[in-house]
Amino acid sequence: MESSIGTVPQQQAIDLLRRIFGYSEFRGAQAEIVDHVSNGGDALVLMPTGAGKSLCYQIPALLRRGVGVVVSPLIALMQDQVDALAELGVRAAFLNSTLSGVEAASVERQVRAGELDLLYVAPERLLSERCLNLLEQSRVALFAIDEAHCVAQWGHDFRPEYIQLSILHERFPDVPRIALTATADAQTRAEIVERLQLHGARVYVSSFDRPNIRYQIVEKLNARKQLLDFIRAEHDGECGIVYCLSRKKVEETAAFLMENGIDALPYHAGMDSITRQKHQARFLRADGLVMVATIAFGMGIDKPDVRFVAHLDLPKSIEGYYQETGRAGRDGMPADAWMTYGLQDVVQLRRMIAESEADETFKRVSSVKLDAMLGLCESADCRRKRLLNYFDESTASDYRCGYCDTCLSPPASFDATVAVQKLLSCIYRTGQRFGAVHVMAVLRGDVGGQSGERIKQWQHDQLSVFGVGHEYSETEWRALIRQCLALGVIDVDHDAYGAIKLTDDSRAVLKGERKVMLRELRKPVRTVKSSRKTFDSELNSVQQRCFDSLRDWRLGAARQHNVPAYVIFHDGTLREIALRQPDSLEALQAISGIGAKKLEAYGLELLKVIQVSETI
């Protein structure tokens, strides 16, 4: 095995950036990372989705002698990643279980012959003795470990194979390694360094802020109807992802959306692999499709024009929420992270933690992460501030982003101490043996239906707390109980089938020593189209016509090349063409995202589309 040596000048990196990728300059820490890795240094890179992590290893791989080996868990997406690089003129291939023996042998020959710039490898394939021997017999430029948070056992995307990747340091000590992820709190970062033996690596942490994403969390009343109203009002005909906790809910939600005229597909691990791949391929290639999925879908999705990510169930952690919402707006254009959640979400997730077969340490960490997620949902502060602070990114005490729901429409708070005291008293006097539905019925003095029969059976209509909370509706009590759970004033006893119980913090409230301020429940309103700026508003009628013509042309080119449309050109590139109306190849070359290979392949066609659109 041979490795690259020598010093790589920074100008070479900038020349490659312009010639191959079509960008005039690096963003943020990209230039420093590229320089460090190109010259043989190890790095741990944390950048939000869409910030350009791939360039941090692609350009060093092109600058150094040998093949850059990219370790990725995303077998289903490797073909698209390789196709995208081929469009740029980069020699790339992949090794994974989808290849036949003959195809794999052909790729291995290319690696040995030095005919590839980048090789994508699944971790289980990389760890095989055959693959390790192949790399030892070849010249390796670098190792890039993508989705590096998969190494963290406390993380939301843990992959057992990632723990074994320390073998790269042991068997290839002179080859630089770069680990990359969009999501890692301080604990996860430490675990990545430890498990991958990156103790001497430089750590680059970019801002976790995604300023183009609007965060919105609403009370769960009729989740599917709320989702439908949101899509119709804000993103009709646009691409999005909807996350659900269960496979059954995925199927039902996708069917509901289709019945209501929304083009939607389901995706979950219970489907056969052929159907999953078919649905994923259609999502990547289509415009305006909504994918309804469990978290089995989405990691590594490069589709830039996802305009919204919606959650119908509460995520288990802020890391998971941030990772999933980050799949929206990769192109930097306005996008929405919308979520509806309610009391049952909290109870269900806490039950899942309590009933899991994990050890007590894992359960404790999971509970802490869930509590942080609840804090984000129930906060009256800026959502973005909460997210940034969770990832140890400091903000001013009075920071407000001005673009999340709590900033755009600040929630009112009220002194709920008396109401909470009534709740705690009711929980205590009913023996801490009943769930929220029964406790609410006692508080409201409900005597009808099944709840009333149960109240009479237990003689809870004889208690002093019966009916003391009649002034609040069931919906208001649900919101109040949910917030008390988030504050730790009450808890769920899973040994007692989900009964709510008092905690150590309850006593101070009952004795009047602690004041409890809660968010007022907002009355549900029908979602209406917002007046937020869209990117199409930048275009006049002539430019819009040109943009539409360019998108139509791109769709035909993508079908001809059998790749997703964004692999040909991103919307941002087409929009800049429509704005600037270039009339020569030289003028086209100045457009961001048009490198030498794409100029050669599509330049004349683009000029023709521009010219024809002007005459329409």
- The residue with greater pLDDT, 614 or 263, is 263
pLDDT score recorded for residue 496: 58
What is the H or E stretch that residue 45 is in?
strand 43-46
Listed in sequence order, the residues at least 6 apart from 459 whose beta carbon sits closer than 8 Å to its beta carbon are: none
* Average pLDDT score over residue span 147-171: 82
Label the pairing between strands 413-415 and 517-519.
antiparallel
CB 530 within 8 A of CB 409: no
Contact (CB, 8 A) for 589 and 606: no
- Residues 277-286: pLDDT tens digits? 899 889 988 8
Tokens for 11, please give them.
Answer: 């100008």
> Residues, the chain, total?
616
535-615 is classed CATH 1.10.150.80: yes
Task: Give residue 40's pLDDT band: very low, low, confident or very high (50, 70, 90).
Answer: very high
Stretch 450-477: mean pLDDT, rounded? 90
The DSSP secondary-structure symbol of 589 reads: H
Secondary structure class of 44 (helix, strand, coil): strand
Structurally, at CATH architecture level, domain 2-205 sits in 3-Layer(aba) Sandwich (3.40)
- Say if residue 519's pLDDT is above 50: yes
pLDDT at 6 over 60: no
pLDDT at 77: 79
What value does the mean pLDDT take over residues 404-425?
92
Indicate whether 407 pLDDT > 90.
yes
Q: What is the 3-state secondary structure (H, E, C) of 186-229?
A: HHHHHHHHHHCCCCCCEEEECCCCCCCEEEEEEECCCHHHHHHH
Provide the 8-state DSSP code for 106.
Answer: H
Find, among 376, 485, 359, the residue nearest to 420 by Cα: 485
Q: Give the tens place of pLDDT for each residue, 100-123.
A: 999 999 999 999 999 999 999 999
Three-state DSSP class for residue 466: coil
Contact predicate 231/262, CB 8 Å = yes
Q: pLDDT confidence of 202, banded at 50, 70, 90?
A: very high
pLDDT of residue 134: 96
Asked whether residue 232 carries a pLDDT value surpassing 50, the answer given is yes
Structure tokens at 399: 């920071």
Cβ atoms of 212 and 397 within 8 Å: the answer is no
DSSP label at residue 411: P
Reported as type and span, the H/E element at residue 363 is helix 360-378
Q: Please indicate whether residue 177 or residue 612 has the higher confidence score (pLDDT).
A: 177
Q: Which helix (H) or strand (E) holds 413?
A: strand 413-415
Instruction: Point out which residues pair with 93 in neighbouring strands.
Output: 119
Distance CA 577, CA 587 (A): 10
Phi-psi region at 109: left, alpha or beta (left = phi > 0; alpha = psi -120 to 50) = alpha
How far from 269 is each of 254, 303, 387, CA to CA, in Å?
15, 21, 29
For the entire predicted model, the pTM comes to 0.82
Q: What is the pLDDT of residues 425-440, one digit of tens each?
A: 999 999 999 988 899 9
Higher per-residue confidence, 7 vs 217:
217
Q: In this model, does residue 527 exceed pLDDT 80?
A: no
For residue 600, which amino acid is it? E
Residues of the chain with CATH 3.40.50.300: 2-205, 213-406
CA–CA distance, 21 with 242 (Å, rounded to integer): 32
CB atoms within 10 A of CB 531: 6
CATH 1.10.10.10 location in the chain: 413-519
**Please, what is the average pLDDT of the chain?**
89
For residue 528, name the pLDDT band (cuts at 50, 70, 90). very low
Fold classification of 213-406 (topology level):
Rossmann fold (3.40.50)
Residue by residue, DSSP assigns 497-522 as TTEEEE-TTHHHHHTT-S--EEEPPP
Angle, helices 436-444 vs 449-457, to 10°: value is 90
Residue 237's Cβ-count burial label (10 Å; 0-12, 13-18, 19+) is exposed
Q: What is the mean pLDDT of residues 520-539?
A: 57
Task: Say whether domain 413-519 belongs to CATH 1.10.10.10.
Answer: yes
Q: Residue 277 has what pLDDT? A: 86
pLDDT tens digits for 324-339?
999 999 888 899 999 9
pLDDT attached to residue 273: 86
pLDDT for position 525: 52
Given a cut of 90, whether residue 613 has pLDDT beyond it is no
Contact of 269 with 298, CB cutoff 8 Å: no
Q: Which is higher by pLDDT, 156 or 257?
A: 257
Rounded-to-10 torsion of CA 607, 569, 83, 589: 50
- What tokens appear for 510 in the block? 């009952």
Average pLDDT of 594-610?
A: 94
Whether the CA torsion 506, 509, 510, 511 is positive or negative: it is positive
For the cut 60, the answer to whether the pLDDT of residue 535 exceeds it is: no
**Tokens standing for residue 328:** 């929206």
Rounded to 5 degrees, φ, ψ at 214 are -100, 120
Hey, what are 479's tokens? Answer: 């919101």
Instruction: For 346-355, write each residue's pLDDT tens digit.
Output: 888 888 888 8
Q: What is the 3-state secondary structure (H, E, C) of 368-408?
A: HHHHHHHHHHHCCCCHHHHHHHHCCCCCCCCCCCCCCHHHH
In percent, the amount of the chain with pLDDT more than 90 equals 59
For residue 20, is pLDDT > 80?
Answer: yes
Taken in order 278, 284, 288, 291, the sign of the CA dihedral is positive
Q: Looking at residue 98, what is its pLDDT?
A: 86
**Which among 318, 444, 297 has a CA at the least distance from the CA of 385?**
318
Quote the pLDDT of residue 539. Answer: 83
Distance from the first to the final alpha carbon of the chain: 60
Residues of the chain with CATH 1.10.150.80: 535-615
Using one digit for the tens of pLDDT, what is the confidence trace for 299-310? 667 788 899 999
- Structural element, H or E, at residue 292: strand 290-293
**DSSP 8-state secondary structure symbol assigned to residue 349:** H
pLDDT tens readout for residues 370-381: 888 988 998 888
The rounded distance, in Å, linking the Cα atoms of 568 and 554 is: 7
Mean pLDDT of 498-518: 90
In order of 156, 199, 378, 384, 529, the CA distances from 406 in angstroms are: 27, 40, 10, 10, 18
